[in-house]
Amino acid sequence: MSDTTVERSLPERRSVRPGHPVPVSTYRVQLGADLTFDDVAARVPYYASLGVTHVYLSPVLAAAPGSTHGYDVVDHDTVSPVLGGEDGLRRLADVAHGAGLGLVLDIVPNHMAVPTPVWHNRALWSVLADGSDSPFAAWFDVDWSAGDGAVLMPVLGDRIGAVLARDELQLAEQDVPGVGTCTVLRYHDHVFPVRAGTEALPLAELVERQHYRLAYWKVADEELNYRRFFDVGTLVAVRVEDPEVFDATHALVLRLLREGVVDGLRIDHPDGLADPAGYLARLREVTDGAWVVVEKILAGAEELPDDWATAGTTGYEALWRVQQAFVDPGGAALLGSVLHRVTGDGSDAFEALEQDAKREVVDGPLYAEVHRLTNLAAEICHDDLRLRDHTWRALEECLVELLVAFDRYRAYVVPGEPAPPTSVAVLTTAAQRARRRLGAEREATMDVLVDLLLGREAGSAGRTRDPRRDELVVRFQQTCGAVMAKGVEDTAFYRWTHLVALCEVGGEPVRFATTPTDLAAWAAQAQASAPLGMTTLSTHDTKRGEDTRARLGVLSELPHEWSALVEDLRRVSASYRGTLLDGRTEYLLWQTLAGTWTDDGPIEEDRLVEYVTKAVREAKSRTTWTAPDAAYEDAVLSTARRARTDPEVLGLLGDWDLRTREAVRAATLGSKLVQLTLPGVADVYQGTEVPFPTLVDPDNRRPVDVDALAARLARLDEGAGPRTLADEKLLVTSRALRVRRDVREAFVGPEAGFVPLGHSSGHAMTYARTAGGEPRVVVVATRLAAAVERLGGWTEHTVALPDGPWHDVLADRAVPGGVRRVADVLDRLPVALLVREGV
């Protein structure tokens, strides 16, 4: 296969303009009260020694009180005092830049927090105080025509009548920061402004006269009249499509970028915006073409929209492809039989399960969004004589089925612009699927709805646009993303247990495994189309960390042994597995215990309990966050606790760990090396430079002992040989990062390239990174080590290395070019990283 280099015709919007740094690699840190700017500054020497070129910071703007992640911003003009304020950020920047490192900043344009008390968000406080007359009214995506022009505040623990009867609402005088002393309405910890002129009214009348409507929290899913982040009522959407709102919410971040405090940006969830392409175009203009990547989930073969001005994504499409290249397709059928035996699910049932989950969230937590869409469509039809017979109910049924049938986050139709062919195909294909669930009498309504959603002429001749039609186009796409996130990632992925490692953010569990050829084809395309986007294996949002997934992937290599183990686990735990424990949760438990096993044994009890509780509530099959079933949850957690301490269970899992140790080693090191050397900017999530088996947040945001990591790295740098898998993974990570830094022209340079290398075994993954067409770095990785073991080792299999002298930086030895036995190249580690000597 010929070399694939970065085309000089790479679209300007995918490039970084001169004068702006391009990261070669990043190291993600999760800031918080226990990891401030000064704490990160103290760790800069370690990050520099590790080999990264940029430190990648979680959001730094002032967040809601007690925030553990920073995505609940309350003030765009202030760097979080909890983290150290702007002075602390500048101190960190000085230290980082002094060590040759840059800073990448994670920003959140889509939403702000609805904090407790609300006055922490001064803009929202103003809107609640003054309604549509507030100077901040344009900031938030509020439907002022609904709810009698009052913003729904669903914070009450009971219906409003009961709350009033119990005198739980109180008037008080409050010193509100930025406002002064004023009359407020209190409900426990919640504090709300009182509309001027209503202070002396009887309480019930006063409550009714506000610019907000206090309501029972359960009302939100049915009557919420502001757009939120997915189904999270405490995150209110921001209208950055308004130029004044954009300017106000980005001023500080842009100043930090202009002044060189930060060097690049990561954009959180642009699919939630009204016009992602327009937002990114404006951002590119005001940043003068700085390095900007987006948190964009590409479904299946979906590609980044052509008109997005961004270097690329944050790497979820790389994550699942790398991981599934280390999954054995031969294990699918037998693991499917285990799935069926334990859960009753068939191995081909995911798509149906996914559809059911999406329908549940459409009918439940996202009903308010669907109701609003239906009202818009119904108003459009009612006001047009030719469309008037398309009823509210018909439109609702068509919208529900279309949302359920939609297979990605949105279609990217912009009102007033011709719909791209891809968008037309996506919508019409979804409509075809939706029609199968609808009767023939809904055909005409679906046709009208598709035309409206594509901005086509519908109804009276020539009518394509008006404010409501435009709003319908935009809101439908924003709702698609919420349905995908809540229905698939946060519901179906917690129900599907064929191989839980496949149920990852952006993942494709219907594709059980991929081949090295598949991965190489994707890498060649990425090198040509978005060579400066990110690659990753773990993020703050992943359902399981890379090391947990690597351990679980080995189940596919040893499916017979795993099947026997599951039977043994079920047998020894039969006495305490209650009848309330369902098969899906039981099978999730066994895989979770196997995936998080370490040399110290099983995962800690508090971590396991917290994870299992979250998993069963997210699955929404027997219990939920809003309606927990205490008896069911007690039965699940009792089983989990007993299994975790049962000597027989621990003995079986310990034996499994010994049996799979070499396969886990190869998968852990191989997937990491491949991720770090594929086309793109390689990201390392904090702590994952050594095995760090984690589960979904908050488990994956636990503190990292950097002093221990630094000491381990220093020992390796002083010449100590790796003795444990932790040593080996740190060796692979640090050497790969340093090679990227030292030979950057082969990774992010304008003539960087990727070319697969010939080999005689399907269990070897081999390729070169090139500069100007010349091989500069070679990667050799073991794929499916258990299969290699079954076949008696590498025997006489070979790999064709490019000619010339090479140095394996992992084994620290010379390796001649030409056709070489794989066994000789990989006699010390299951991976090799070769750098051309003398160049």
pLDDT exceeds 80 at position 168: yes
Alpha-helix residue ranges (DSSP H) falling in 265-385? 276-287, 316-325, 332-343, 350-363, 367-382
CA distance 776 to 756: 13
Name the residue ranges covered by the structural domains of the chain.
23-110+240-314, 118-236, 353-493
pLDDT tens per residue, range 632-677: 999 999 999 999 999 999 999 999 999 999 999 999 999 999 999 9
| Omega before residue 117 within 30° of 0, cis | yes
In this prediction, residues 421-440 reach a mean pLDDT of: 95
Q: How far is CA 830 from each of CA 143, 462, 479, 598, 793, rounded to the nearest angstrom? A: 58, 65, 45, 20, 12
In this prediction, residues 472-491 reach a mean pLDDT of: 95
- The edge-to-edge listing of strands for the beta sheet with 190-193 is 169-176, 180-187, 190-193
In this prediction, residues 56-82 reach a mean pLDDT of: 97
* CA gyration radius, the chain: 28
pLDDT tens per residue, range 245-283: 999 999 999 999 999 999 999 999 999 999 999 999 999
573-611: string of b/e by CB count within 10 Å (b at 16+)?
A: beeebeebbbbbbbbbbbbbbbbbbeeeebbeeebbbeb
| pLDDT value of residue 9 | 65
pLDDT exceeds 80 at position 839: no
CA distance 387 to 394: 12
Residue 164 CA to chain centroid, in angstroms? 41
CA distance 396 to 763: 51
Residue with tokens 């090139």: 770
Nearest CA to 745 among 1, 2, 158, 5? Answer: 5
Pair of tokens at residue 499: 């191989």
**Is 251 within 8 Å of 240 (Cβ atoms)?**
no
Q: How far is CA 802 from each of CA 409, 756, 773, rounded to the nearest angstrom? A: 42, 11, 12
| pLDDT value of residue 10 | 80
Cβ-Cβ contacts under 8 Å for 688 (sequence gap 6 or more): 537, 538, 545, 546, 547, 733
| pLDDT value of residue 147 | 65
DSSP state of 779: E
Q: What CATH number was assigned to the domain covering residues 118-236?
A: 3.30.1590.10
CA distance 448 to 315: 37
| Omega before residue 365 within 30° of 0, cis | no
| pLDDT value of residue 462 | 80
Residue with tokens 């300007």: 12
Report the interhelical angle of 583-595 vs 559-572 (nearest 10°).
110
23-110+240-314, CATH topology level: TIM Barrel (3.20.20)
pLDDT exceeds 90 at position 220: no
DSSP state of 604: P
Nearest CA to 111 among 243, 255, 222, 274? Answer: 274
C-alpha torsion sign, points 212, 215, 217, 218: negative
CA distance 237 to 239: 7
| pLDDT value of residue 5 | 43
pLDDT tens per residue, range 703-720: 999 999 999 999 999 999
Across the strands, what pairs with 438? Answer: none
Q: pTM, whole model, 2 decimals?
A: 0.95
**Is 733 within 8 Å of 689 (Cβ atoms)?**
yes
**Is 676 within 8 Å of 628 (Cβ atoms)?**
no
What are the strands, taking DSSP E only, across 31-168? Answer: 54-57, 61-63, 73-79, 102-107, 111-113, 151-156
Question: Containing H/E element for 599?
Answer: none
CA distance 430 to 425: 8
Residue 392 CA to chain centroid, in angstroms? 35
Nearest CA to 764 among 778, 747, 746, 743? Answer: 778
pLDDT exceeds 70 at position 8: no
Nearest CA to 212 among 135, 126, 117? Answer: 126
Question: Containing H/E element for 232?
Answer: strand 232-237
| pLDDT value of residue 781 | 98
Residue with tokens 């989990």: 640
What are the strands, taking DSSP E only, across 131-221? Answer: 151-156, 169-176, 180-187, 190-193, 212-216
**Is 294 within 8 Å of 280 (Cβ atoms)?**
yes
What backbone phi and psi angles, to 5 degrees, belong to 392?
Answer: -55, -45
**Is 331 within 8 Å of 784 (Cβ atoms)?**
no
| pLDDT value of residue 6 | 40
Q: How far is CA 396 from each of CA 366, 370, 401, 529, rounded to the nearest angstrom? A: 13, 8, 9, 39
63-78: string of b/e by CB count within 10 Å (b at 16+)?
A: bbeebebbbbbbbbee
- Residue 151's pLDDT band, with cuts at 50, 70 and 90, is very high
Q: How far is CA 440 from each of CA 393, 429, 592, rounded to the nearest angstrom? A: 15, 17, 46
pLDDT tens per residue, range 76-132: 999 999 999 999 999 999 999 999 999 999 999 999 999 999 999 999 999 999 999
- Percent of the chain at pLDDT > 90 equals 94
Cβ-Cβ contacts under 8 Å for 617 (sequence gap 6 or more): 623, 624, 625, 628
Equal fold, 23-110+240-314 vs 118-236? no
CA distance 456 to 263: 42
- Indicate the average pLDDT of the chain: 95
pLDDT tens per residue, range 749-770: 999 999 999 999 999 999 999 9
pLDDT exceeds 60 at position 4: no
In this prediction, residues 196-225 reach a mean pLDDT of: 93
| pLDDT value of residue 16 | 95
pLDDT exceeds 90 at position 145: no
pLDDT exceeds 50 at position 482: yes
Neighbours of 402 (CB within 10 A): 25
pLDDT tens per residue, range 675-689: 999 999 999 999 999
**Is 834 within 8 Å of 769 (Cβ atoms)?**
no
CA distance 64 to 756: 48
**Is 811 within 8 Å of 792 (Cβ atoms)?**
no
CA distance 118 to 601: 45
In this prediction, residues 398-416 reach a mean pLDDT of: 95
